């Protein structure tokens, strides 16, 4: 086992503990002075203390954001916003190793993953939206009224509150702050309390890039306190959330205080579908990765694997073989494929679902029990890839999001059966289809009720391709021009032209 050494800049950042929030262009302590400890899920070691905010800190952040909107940030020319955002992206790219290490230390994701994906995607998200400020424009409207000229303007919605989860902080964070800032809004970002370090460092880089005071504020602390304060604060014009459907319901209720605009990316129970004519040399490792990347702690995890009967046994055997080969360990171990579960609470949730699955009559083929030293480090909550077969469609593990390294494998006969069962969920975030018959792939994709469908691949994203869900997976979209639309208001202006 080769453990990577910690970057000196990362050590210096952690040594600055207690780590401060960012409000009004400054690094500040919480009003209460309270802190909480963030630990390394790979081994349970203390990483740092972080200031813990509450309603008073949200009030400060809202005031700072409103001041920014009324001041230099609100008056800034589009070209100047573009320059700042490009500098921001450059700094994220320059400091990518530091950001990758902070994320891996904080949420347990393997370092090769955060290096190759998370930190690079974060920079690319900002680069993409850095080009938008000078390209957000309205239209002229040919109304059927004589001597009247009508045009539209897109204007920032105002103060935007963002709430992101712990599984992909850098990606979710930049995915949301980038279009909001590009459109000229002021942002208050609340990262998950168990994974705030990379986001706090990201905020420092934003200040270094030249974001004016109050344009980007980061408030850390418990989700129940800060999420409640953000979503019910009358000074916030829009809330955007990635989280559970239960959280989304509460946000909707809280938002009625001033009819906030909402974008919600919520729960998922993604169907991943292998047809009998699929290239199994590609589909089986693709399905394994879809189910278990980041130890299954993914919004789009392909946790319901449907396999057509002629290839069912082959696929099950292939999944088991890959599960047995997977290296599970410390996030900084260069050989690690799957890291730990993020914390004890999430571990207990996942193992509770596993026990429920066993009690429901499902057949546990692999995994299901906590790994212990010496195979894994002391102090971490490690679960191997867990595979169920013979799972009833009505079982709890077939319907509820587990958010851990658990996949259910189902067999099916016909295309019609597949579509019916794949859509038998309250969610509709993502899906996958594996087949060499592209006509069939397009036909099935058109009938799957999900916001994104991957064909012969899985888990790809781009900042110019929209992402979001159907049904109780939420509404609105991240990425693309739809993200710009979601953080702007449209104003129609009528002008008589008669002499």
Identified catalytic residue from 265, 303, 401, 449? 265
Whether 105 contacts 331, CB under 8 Å:
yes
pLDDT value at position 279? Answer: 98
Point out the catalytic residue in the list 299, 303, 401, 449: 299
Q: What is the pLDDT of residue 3?
A: 76
The burial class, CB within 10 Å (0-12 / 13-18 / 19+), for 95 is buried
299 is catalytic: yes
- For the entire predicted model, the pTM comes to 0.96
Residues of the chain with pLDDT under 50: none
- List of domains in the chain: 8-266+473-491 (3.40.605.10), 271-462 (3.40.309.10)
303 is catalytic: no
Distance from C-alpha of 46 to C-alpha of 31, rounded to nearest angstrom: 24
448 and 430 in contact (C-beta within 8 Å)? no
Dump pLDDT digits (tens) for 199-237. Answer: 999 999 999 999 999 999 999 999 999 999 999 999 999
Q: List 51's β-bridge partners, or say none.
A: 35
The pLDDT of residue 227 is: 93
């Amino acid at each position: 086992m080769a453990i990577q050494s910690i970057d000196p800049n990362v050590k210096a950042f952690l040594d600055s503990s207690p780590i401060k929030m960012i409000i009004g262009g400054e690094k500040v302590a919480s009003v209460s002075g309270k802190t909480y400890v963030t630990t390394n899920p790979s081994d349970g070691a203390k990483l740092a203390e972080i200031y813990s905010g509450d309603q008073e800190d949200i009030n400060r952040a809202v005031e700072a954001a409103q001041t920014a909107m009324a001041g230099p940030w609100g008056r800034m020319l589009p070209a100047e916003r573009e320059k700042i955002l490009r500098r921001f992206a450059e700094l994220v790219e320059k400091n990518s190793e530091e950001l990758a290490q902070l994320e891996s230390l904080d949420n347990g994701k393997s370092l090769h993953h955060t290096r190759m994906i998370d930190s690079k995607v974060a920079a690319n998200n900002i680069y993409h939206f850095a080009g938008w400020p000078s390209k957000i424009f309205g239209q002229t409207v040919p109304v059927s009224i004589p001597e009247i000229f009508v045009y539209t303007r897109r204007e920032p919605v105002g103060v935007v509150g963002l709430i992101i989860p712990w599984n992909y902080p850098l990606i979710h964070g930049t995915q949301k702050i980038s279009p909001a800032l590009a459109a000229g809004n002021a942002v208050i970002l609340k990262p998950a309390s168990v994974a705030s370090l990379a986001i706090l460092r990201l905020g420092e880089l934003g200040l270094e890039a030249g974001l004016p005071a109050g344009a980007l504020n980061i408030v850390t602390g418990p989700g129940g306190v800060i999420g409640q304060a953000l979503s019910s604060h009358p000074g916030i014009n829009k809330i955007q959330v990635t989280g559970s459907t239960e959280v989304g319901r509460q946000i909707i209720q809280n938002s009625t205080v001033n009819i906030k605009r909402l974008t919600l990316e919520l729960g998922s129970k993604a169907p991943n579908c292998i047809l009998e004519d699929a290239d199994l040399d590609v589909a089986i490792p693709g399905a394994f990765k879809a189910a278990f990347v980041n130890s299954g702690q993914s919004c789009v995890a392909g946790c319901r694997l449907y396999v057509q009967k002629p290839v069912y046994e082959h696929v099950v055997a292939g999944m088991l073989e890959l599960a047995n080969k997977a290296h599970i360990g410390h996030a900084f171990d260069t050989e690690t494929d799957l890291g730990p579960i993020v914390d004890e609470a999430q571990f207990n949730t996942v193992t509770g679902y596993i026990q429920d699955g066993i009690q429901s009559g499902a057949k546990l083929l692999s995994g299901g029990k906590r790994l212990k030293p010496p195979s894994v480090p002391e102090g971490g909550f490690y679960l191997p890839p867990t595979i169920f077969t013979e799972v009833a469609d009505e079982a709890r593990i077939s319907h509820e999001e587990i958010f851990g390294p658990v996949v259910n494998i189902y067999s099916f006969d016909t295309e019609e059966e597949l579509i019916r069962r794949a859509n038998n969920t309250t969610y509709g975030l993502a899906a996958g289809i594996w087949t060499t018959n592209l006509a069939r792939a397009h036909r099935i994709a058109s009938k799957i009720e999900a916001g994104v469908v991957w064909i012969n691949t899985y888990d790809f994203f781009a900042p110019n391709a929209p992402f979001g869900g159907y049904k109780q997976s939420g509404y609105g979209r991240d990425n693309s021009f739809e993200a710009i639309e979601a953080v702007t208001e449209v104003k129609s202006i009528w002008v008589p032209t008669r002499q």
